[in-house]
Amino acid sequence: MTASEEKFTRQTLTDVHVWSPTLFSLRCTRDAGFRFRAGQFARLGVRKADGSVVWRAYSVVSAPHDDYLEFFSIVVPGGEFTSELCRLKAGDELLVEKQAVGYLTLDRFPDGRDLWLLGTGTGLAPFLSILQDLEAWQRFERIVLVYSARDRGELAYQQLIAELPQREWLEGAGHKLIYVPVVTREQVPGALHARITTLIENGELERAAGLELSPEHSRVMLCGNPQMIEDTRAVLKTRDMQLSLTRRPGAVAVENYW
């Protein structure tokens, strides 16, 4: 099979950033022909010592216009893929499938006023890509990023989140972003302290954001562990906020990321 017939490209790892004992990010070169929409994911391959390749899907953290690709990973103890992945260093090879996939993209939604991005753990990844692209800032009056972690040390990408509103290409639209950090296992100043579902049910999340969650104005993206998504969807459904489908546009889009 020639290189052009293969379903993947061979990229070079340029940086590994360790956030905590359980979280790290990878940055690699990007093939000139690789295209994706903000919010999509790509399958990454790591070659094991025996020559076999292990594949896993990861949402892209970087923006569609960046000349590199960045991914956010959790360390799975004993996991076949992350055991290989976390041993990689700058200069090593990373395989990237040529076709990006996924439906956690803004074209899932009819127009709305407020965009809510609710993520747990590495589910933050697609939202960072969306926030580094212009479309969300053009389409919505307010963007609420809710990032839930177990402890303070797992709140990754805080500098990037803080700097986003100051980016020159936003041309003064940075005020649209409202950031609400959530830490569930310890009290952290400036962060809410409960599960996302609890914060929606008791109204604390809306008070922190200064906005109401409503089917009329809100468009909600959920990304994280499947239980969080299932529970949050159920809570939103009680407010008549339905999953957005091709045949029936709605207010909620999801991606299980675990």
Given 58, 77, 97, the domain boundary residue is 97
Q: Do 114 and 232 fall into the same domain? A: yes
Domain that holds residue 89: 8-97
Name the domain count of the chain. Answer: 2
Q: Do 143 and 198 fall into the same domain? A: yes
Q: Do 90 and 135 fall into the same domain? A: no
Given 36, 71, 97, the domain boundary residue is 97
Percent of the chain whose pLDDT exceeds 70: 97
Residue 2 lies in a domain: no
Residue 3 lies in a domain: no
Q: Do 114 and 91 fall into the same domain? A: no
Predicted pLDDT at 250: 94
Mean pLDDT in residue range 212-233? 96
Residue 67 lies in a domain: yes
The per-residue pLDDT for range 8-17, each reduced to its tens digit, is 999 999 999 9
Predicted pLDDT at 80: 87
Q: Do 38 and 166 fall into the same domain? A: no
Q: Do 29 and 66 fall into the same domain? A: yes
Q: Do 141 and 65 fall into the same domain? A: no
Residue 149 lies in a domain: yes
Confidence of residue 252 (pLDDT cuts 50, 70, 90): very high
The whole-model pTM stands at 0.95
What's 87's domain CATH number?
2.40.30.10
DSSP states along the chain:
--TTTSSEEEEEEEEEEEEETTEEEEEEE--TT----TT-EEEEEEE-TTS-EEEEEEEB-S-TT-SEEEEEEE--TT-HHHHHHTT--TT-EEEEES--B-S-SGGGS---SEEEEEEEGGGGHHHHHHHTSHHHHHH-SEEEEEEEESSGGG---HHHHHHGGG-GGGTTGGGGEEEEEEESSS--TTSB-S-HHHHHHTSHHHHHHT----TTTEEEEEEE-HHHHHHHHHHHHTTT-PBP-SSS--SEEEEE--
Mean pLDDT in residue range 23-31? 96
Q: Do 83 and 202 fall into the same domain? A: no
